[in-house]
Structure 1
Amino acid sequence: MPRNPGITDEDIIKMYKSGIPFKEMVPIIGLSDRAIRNVMYKNGIDMNREQFSGQPRKHKVNENFFKTWTHEMAWVLGLFVTDGTVNSKIHSISFTQKDESILRLIAEYMDADYILAPITPTRLTPTLIINSKEIKKDLEQLGITANKSLNIPFPDVPEEFLPSFVRGVIDGDGWVQKNGYVMNVTTGSLFFAEGLLSVFQSWNLQSEITKDIENGRNTIYRVKVKGKVDLPKLAKIIYNGVTDKSFIPYKKNRMIKHLK
């Protein structure tokens, strides 16, 4: 079983020390779990028995984070439903973001250790890993499960926290026109698209859903808000009162620059 191109002993050791279980390392590295153990032995690494069984190493995290609605929780949840992944095999979730400052802020809000998955030929974007059975269970109660992209529902978010949640969604899968008056959010779930459209309509925004076929198979839905009046109005709703850094700066700048 050949090692995947570009994977070094140092990469394997970093994966192990980050808490990734052996059965999850196998497809990334291209070696059997026995061969991975041999790399550890060769380099004198003291191994954790729990990782042989596929159980993730415990890291610090506030396991009650998704139990109580706050503006920080709603924003993180919005990011997660768009850029997050629930591991189907182990009690682990992950966030993927090009901007590491966003991942660091998520870890700060969740009182979590800042553990990034190793960069590999198939994983080039920074990915924050959080191991917690309780958090995974709380997300499932919100309707967020593994393989969520095509069927995720729009969570039942209290009205007070909808602006923060929508801001997180836009930060995750939103696109804001640089000089124009269009914002759209892309999703593979019609249920989520219809829920988001309903929120925009409740805010009296000019909005619509369009759809495209991706790679000739899956339908992709785009929920749009557009117009010289409506885009600034959306910006005012989702950024009003935000005093911390819970937003992606360039998206905020493109949305608020039309505000008088």
Structure 2
Amino acid sequence: MVLNMARKKKCTLEITEIIQMYEEGEKTVDIARRANVSTRYINSVLQQNKVERTPHGSWKRKYRVNEDYFKIWSNNMAYLLGFFAADGYISSRNQTVCFSQKDPDILEQIREELQSNHPLVMNNTGVYTLIIGSKVMKYDLMNLHGMTSDKSNALQMPKIPEKYLSHFVRGYFDGDGFVNFERRIVSFVGGSEQFMTSLNLELQNKNFNSRCIVEDKYFRIYITGRKTIHMFKKWLYHDVGIHLKRKYEIFDKETIQDANKIPESRIKKTKEAVQSRKELFLELYKQSKTIEEICKVIKVKPSTFNHWLKKDREFKEKIYSIRRL
């Protein structure tokens, strides 16, 4: 157990970070230099927190990992890179690379692929994190693939060989993607305009008729339509390796496997369907403020929107309420 030991003000690392770095094989002199303290202070931290000491001259990692994993392209490497772009994190303070997800199964697949024995840690919100200490892996992600510690807003699309693009997109989708089979909607979300614009262009080049809209501080890509989503699923899971099972199973609800036999989507006109589209319209309107874009996403004409305003008083009041925000 880590004691609440008083830390010198000038120390730039947390006690837990010092212990983790030592257990992963870093020398006390290197930790001290990075923490801006003396080696004596680092030894004191380790002693007071009862950390098992490694005999002098026998420095070995407590945890193993294939540090060179991101140097060589493969289907699974592209997937992990996409997943990291969505749910990964590079520490700016130490040599750690992190993958986070609520679903521990996918992190266990990633851990096995990386030939790692690092533990999964769950925080108080139910999110699991795989924390890997590796200077080599950190700088490969940064220098070879453009990842940064400020990835949320500054992420750029890596240079991905065409044969691995679907695997990269599947990784990103498993991290920051969503599919609703009943509404025939697939979406991706991200905070980097450059990355999301590039991703949208790649999807459009595959004839998925994707659209990218602004939602508050985020960007969201939509793919809609029964046949289009089926074709997207076939591309996304072609020659599939690692994937998030629960998302694949949603796509797998499609009962017609021949895309040519899937009917073009028709707009349902039942009261429930219309109400569902109105609710989705209001949800998107709160975020994007662009009527034309929303009409395209939910596949209604602007004249339909005007008809709703005219005939549905409650809908009209909600629209004007959002406009006043």
The correspondence for 1:161, drawn from 157, 160, 164, is 164
What fraction of aligned residue pairs are identical, expressed as a percent?
A: 30
The aligned counterpart of 2:129 is: 127
SS in 2 for 1:112: coil
Matched, 1:46 2:42: no
CA displacement at 1:180 relative to structure 2: 2.1
Note the residue ranges of structure 2 that are not aligned, 5 or more in a row.
5-15, 33-40, 56-60, 257-325
Matched, 1:83 2:87: yes
TM-score normalised according to structure 1 size = 0.76
The aligned counterpart of 2:207 is: 204
The aligned counterpart of 1:31 is: none
CA displacement at 1:233 relative to structure 2: 0.7
CA displacement at 1:45 relative to structure 2: 3.8
| Aligned equivalents of 1:87, 1:161: Cα separation in 2 | 27
1:133-184 per-residue CA deviation (whole Å, 9 max, x = no partner) reads: 1111111121101111101001111100011111101000001114221111
Note the residue ranges of structure 1 that are not aligned, 5 or more in a row.
4-11, 24-33, 50-56, 214-218
Size of the aligned set, in residue pairs, is 228
The correspondence for 1:229, drawn from 227, 230, 248, is 227
Contact 2:118–2:130 (CA under 8 A) maintained in structure 1 = yes
CA RMSD of aligned residues (A): 3.3
Larger Rg: 2
| Aligned equivalents of 1:45, 1:89: Cα separation in 2 | 22
Structure 1 stretches of 4+ moved >3 Å: 15-23, 40-45
TM-score normalised according to structure 2 size = 0.62
More contact order relative to length (CA 8 Å, sep ≥ 6):
1
Q: Which has the higher helix share?
A: 2
1:212-245 per-residue CA deviation (whole Å, 9 max, x = no partner) reads: 11xxxxx100011111111111000011222x4x
CA displacement at 1:75 relative to structure 2: 0.5
| Aligned equivalents of 2:172, 2:103: Cα separation in 1 | 15
| Aligned equivalents of 1:161, 1:43: Cα separation in 2 | 46
The correspondence for 2:248, drawn from 249, 252, 255, is 252
